[in-house]
Amino acid sequence: MAKSDAFTPKLLVEYRPYDGGKLYASATRGFKSGGANLETTATVFRPERIWAYEIGSKNRTADGRAEFGIAAFYYDYTDLQLRTTLFTPEGIFTRITNAASASILGLELSAMVRPAEGLSVDFNGAWLKTRLKEFISPVTEERVVGLPMPLSPRVSFTTGAQYRLDLGTGGSLTARGEVSYQSSVNFPQFTDFERERQSGYALLNANLRYDLPGGRMHVALIGRNLTNRLYKTQRFYYAGFADTEFYGAPRTVEARLGFSF
């Protein structure tokens, strides 16, 4: 039986210098309980702890035509829990192990403008610098230091535009298109870092929605990954044993019919 506890305080300071504007700073202690991996023999992993520090600003114009936010943050992990798949003669196991320490330094930006009636343009993006400071690979049992944390792109963003047209019949037509991008990531296998990664890629999505008069019914056409981009979401490589890849969904087009009561 494993038992763990923690004190998780949060300190938040806010200042509103003008209507629609806010400055803030926070410090938060986080905690994730430990547990056991149930394999042929049980192994225990320790609780994960984090100190998270953030400063930022959120702003909105009086007429609501523009919004802007920026935040900088630093996450300091102790005993970060990482999930790895192990291929052994006894079978395939998913094991959670601890990285003694890790950190994330990041910056987030968000913006939205409404330049004309019914039209809006938005952007949400992030920049991350992540680092595993001390970790022993459960697969190779090698010491890993200084590598980026798995599944953490250095740059990611989504930007899009939306237009809503009110029809004279009482219904409305809404069209939206967006592009999302993420830079390269490593997968959490820690065996062969040249193979276990996905290079940067962009996805194009779009949708068209018609709301019938009265607002109780709508029909929509939704397209995802319209350029049919091939990209991996996970990869497990274990020399001489297994080389398994998982891919994101290809181009999909979906029709929806919705009701409100």
Instruction: Give CA–CA dist 59/217, Å, rounded.
Output: 35
The answer on pLDDT for 1 being more than 60 is no
Percent of the chain predicted with pLDDT > 70: 97
The answer on pLDDT for 242 being more than 80 is no
- Token output for 6: 């923690």
The answer on pLDDT for 138 being more than 60 is yes
Instruction: Check residue 125 and give its pLDDT.
Output: 98
What tens digit of pLDDT does each residue of 154-175 get? 999 999 999 999 988 888 999 9
What tens digit of pLDDT does each residue of 22-32 get? 999 999 999 99
Instruction: Give CA–CA dist 146/194, Å, rounded.
Output: 16
- Token output for 135: 């970790």
Nearest-10 Cα torsion for 19, 28, 181, 101? 160
Instruction: Name the more confident of 57 and 196.
Output: 57
What tens digit of pLDDT does each residue of 66-106 get? 999 999 999 999 999 988 877 777 777 788 888 888 999 99
pTM, to two decimals: 0.87
- Token output for 164: 């809503």
Instruction: Check residue 61 and give its pLDDT.
Output: 87
Instruction: Give CA–CA dist 98/160, Å, rounded.
Output: 38
The answer on pLDDT for 191 being more than 80 is no
